[in-house]
Structure 1
Amino acid sequence: MTDPAGPEPGALMEPLALVVRAHHDDLTVVATRHGLSTAQARALVALNEPMPMRALADHLVCDASNATGLIARMETGGLVRRDPAPGDRRSKVASRTPAGTELALRIRAEMRTVHAALEALTPEERKALLPLLERLGQLLTR
C-alpha cells in the first residue's frame, strides 16, 4: 500500500544523491578526456551567456580568486574570454569563445552514463520527470 502523502523528503535524499554523483562522475571523466578539470568543465557549460565573474564564482561555489584562476587557464586555451563589464570597467564578464561553445556542447553530448539512464526511461517517465526537476531547480536557486 502506498502512502497517499508520498515519501518523506529524507527518503528522496539517497536516490537524489546517486543521480548527482553519477552526473559528477560522468562530467569528471569527460572533462579529463578534454584536458579540463571538473570545475573548468562546469564553468564552461555554465557560460551559455556572458556572466559576471562574481556570479560565476557563486555558481561554482568558490572564491572569486578561484574562479579567476579557472577562467584565466581556459582563456589561455582559447575557450573563454573576459571583457570589462558594461557600466563597471573594474569588473569582468566571462563568456565562451566559439571553440569554448563547441567544447561545452561536446562535453554535454559525451556524458553517456547520464544520457543512457535518461534514455532508459520511457517517454512518459521523462515527460513526468522534467517539470519535477525544473521545480526542484527553481526551489534550489531562490
Structure 2
Amino acid sequence: MNPEASDLVEPLARAVRGYYDSLAAAAAAHGLSTTQARALIALDTPLSMSALAEHLVCDASNATGLVARMETRRLVVRTPSAQDRRSRTVTATEEGRQLAHRLRAEMHRVHAALAALTPTERGALLPLLDRLGDLLADPRN
C-alpha cells in the first residue's frame, strides 16, 4: 500500500483530535481551559508574550488576558525581557511546571492508546512523528 499524502490527513486529524480531547479533559479537572493547559506545557522554557501568542495562535491581547488569569493562580510570572525592557517574558512557576507535568500524565486516553501499540509499532512511530513535527515546524513547508 502506497498512500498519497492526502490519504493521511484525516487519520492525522483524528489522532490530533484525540490528543486535544484528552488534554481538554485533564485541563478541566484542574480548572483550566485547554488554551491555558497548552500555554503551561509550552512554558517548559520561558517565552516572550509574543512567542507565546504565536504558539497559541492568538493575538497578543488574548495571550495577555490568559497569562493574567494564570498569574492570579500563581502558575506563571511575567518579568521584563532582558533584551527589550518594553517586552515581557512569561515563565512557569514551580507550581505551574508541576501542573504541566500532571496534565501530561493525566492524558489517560492518549497514554492508553500509545500503550496499546506494540513495542515495534511505537518504535516505528516515534521517528515518523519526530520527522513530521520537524517538517510542520519548518516555515518553508
What's 2:84 paired with?
A: 88
TM-score, normalisation: structure 2: 0.96
Extract structure 1 runs of 4+ deviating beyond 6 A.
Answer: none
Partner SS, residue 36 of structure 1: coil
TM (normalized to structure 1)? 0.95
3-state DSSP class of the match of 1:25? Answer: helix
Give the corresponding residue for 1:39: 35
Indicate yes or no: 2:131 matched with 1:126: no
How many residue pairs get aligned? The number is 138
Aligned to 2:109: 113
2:77, 2:48 → 1: CA distance?
A: 12
SS in structure 2 of the partner of residue 134 of structure 1? helix
1:68 aligns to 2:64 (yes or no): yes
What CA deviation, in whole Å up to 9, does each residue of 1:107-141 have, x standing for no partner? 00000001100000111111111111111111111
Name 2:17's counterpart in structure 1.
Answer: 21
SS in 2 for 1:93: strand
Shift of 1:32: 0.7
- In the alignment, the residues of structure 1 paired with residue 4 and residue 127 of structure 2 have an alpha-carbon distance, to the nearest angstrom, of 20
Q: How many angstroms does 1:28 deviate by? A: 0.7
Question: Distance between the aligned counterparts of 1:58 and 1:138, measured in 2?
Answer: 17
| Distance of 1:94 and 1:63 partners within structure 2 | 16
Structure 1: segments with no counterpart, 5+ residues = none
Deviation at 1:14, TM superposition (A): 1.1
SS class of match (2:3) = coil
CA distance in 1, matches of 2:131, 2:103: 25
* CA-CA distance at 1:10 after TM superposition: 1.0
RMSD: 0.7
User: How high is the sequence identity, in percent, across the aligned residues?
Assistant: 62
Q: Distance in 1 between matches of 2:79 and 2:121?
A: 43
For the residues of structure 2 that align with 1:88 and 1:34, how far apart are their CA atoms? Answer: 34
CA distance in 1, matches of 2:137, 2:31: 30
